[in-house]
Amino acid sequence: MAGLRRIPLYDVHKSLGAQFGEFAGWEAPINYTSVIEEHVAVRTSVGFFDLSHMGRLLLSGPDAIRVLDRLVPRDISSEEGMMVGPTAFLNERAGFRDDVMTYNLGSEGWLIVPNAANIEKIYAWLEGWIGRLNAQARVEDHTMDWVLFAIQGPKAAELMRMLGAPSEVLDLRILRFRRNVELEAAGARALIVSRSGWTGEDGFEVIAEAGEGEKILRKAAELLPKLEGRLCGLGARDSLRMEMGFVLYGHEIDEDTTPVEARYWWVFQPGPKKECVGCPALREALRRGASRVRVGLKLGKKARVVPRQGDKVYVEDVEVGYVTSGAYSPMLRRSLAQAYIEPSHALMGMTVEVERRGRRYKAKIVDFPVVQPSSRPPA
């Protein structure tokens, strides 16, 4: 695929049977067997994802915390070390520059994981603010020399045990992490292992140097059949996040969408004294309210169609919104979608119609998650 970047372990995945496709400028594994089989494996057993198309940016230096605190609508200066936190960068209008994960590495700085489509944008933005604040800090891009894996599902801890993870990793609580972890059965060392993920299930995310990551990937591929698990691609990741109602940059969130519209409260703590890019506009958006809100849509089982971004949503013959993304849910055996609609029609249980290729299909407005996970990480 000409012009696309390849993830660091592209050749290894190819040898393991990955089917590749384009995602946000990257050539990445979409599936290995079938999207449905991989999705079900995560909900019932365990799935192993390579998410190395996402960024790994290291912000370090004496003023790293000052730079980051200015850019996120949350008080991170008081957070404990060895924690990973979901948050976001906003523009001056409180639109999303990106939603990111941040790892507090203590005196070594912060690891920031942006979405694949935004790596260069966020890197340049961080550099710009370092200069603007005259800060003693620097940002390094490790996207191509570190890999990022996600091990997700009710048997995720069992797979980690089989890989040789120590008890201090197996006993991690949600959003906690350990550094320099020896995975003895794989003969590899991970830079970071966290109790986190993006599927709703219990799970771990592993960051390692590319050479060490290859050992982990090959050992996991050997062990997964013993647990009825699967190597998984981005197709299953998309349908899994749809069941949970998680957002994807470029679909549910972008530079013109605020957290108020996206109902994305849990990563923000914009207190009245917090000074950050977008915080004044975010407080104003909270005061003013939204002209559109994000909701879930559940289609009937007989609707043999998956809504796509841009499809219109109607109540009777009145257009009230539009779809941002859709996917088939193997667990519910029906299609799901996320959409933005007018607040006056955002009533849970209300019936609307989605127009797809000139035909309309009935759907119910539902809240998230639409599917309850079968496992939960320890709190």
DSSP-based three-state secondary structure for 253 = strand
DSSP state of 371: S
What span, in angstroms and rounded, lies between the C-alpha atoms of 40 and 37? 5
38 is in an annotated binding site: no
Whether the link from the prior residue into 373 is cis, omega within 30° of 0, is no
Compute, in degrees rounded to 10, the torsion defined by CA atoms 195, 153, 166, 178: -20
DSSP-based three-state secondary structure for 320 = strand
What span, in angstroms and rounded, lies between the C-alpha atoms of 295 and 272? 28
What span, in angstroms and rounded, lies between the C-alpha atoms of 98 and 105? 21
Question: CA 52: distance to chain centroid?
Answer: 12
Total residues found in the chain within this entry: 379
Helix axes 119-132, 64-71, angle to 10 degrees: 110
DSSP state of 176: B
Annotated binding site: 205
Annotated binding site for substrate: 205
